[in-house]
Amino acid sequence: MKEFERKGLIERTEREGATVGADIPETIEVQGEDVDLQAFVFEIKKRDTVPAGERERVERAKKNLRRERLQRKQRLEEGDISYEEGEHLVEAIIGIDRALNALEQLGPTDLEREVEAQETADRKRWMRFLQKALGNEDASSGGVGVGRGGN
């Protein structure tokens, strides 16, 4: 491959909109193991959030995908490869980027934790409401509240 061709291919992997319209590869070899990448990403994405039990698996997958992307990019930059091999590497790198973008958009949200926090906040609001309604606005005053007359 000629140097200007190599530079053009590398530039394609770094282009901001490279993943727009790109497909996530059905399968990809990551660390010597075939991974059903498309099925994995769609399985996780359809849940909207990453369940606590799956979070470690997703983080490990993202780490492995980043490592695989780096290795493929280094091979593109430094390897003695044909232009066709370079094209295949670029397509794989862009597909990996697309998968990583999809997995990153999920964020670290834990639905169970959010529900628990919401219930706790609701209980606190309810207790404040009851204290005001019963005339005990200052619950920490040792039982002497408004309208009780401390004398």
Q: Would 54 be classed as within a structural domain?
A: yes
Q: What's the total number of domains in the chain?
A: 2
Residues 112-134 have pLDDT tens digits of: 666 777 888 888 888 888 888 88
Distances (CA, A) of 128 to 31, 79, 123: 56, 67, 9
Residues 105-116 have pLDDT tens digits of: 775 555 566 677
Q: Are 93 and 76 in contact (CB under 8 A)?
A: yes
Q: Would 151 be classed as within a structural domain?
A: no
Q: Would 126 be classed as within a structural domain?
A: yes
pLDDT at 145: 47
Shared-domain flag, residues 131 and 99: no
Where in 26-101 does DSSP place strands (E)? 28-30, 33-35
Residues 32-55 have pLDDT tens digits of: 888 888 888 888 777 766 666 777
Shared-domain flag, residues 32 and 68: yes
Please give the share of the chain, as a percent, with pLDDT higher than 90. Answer: 17
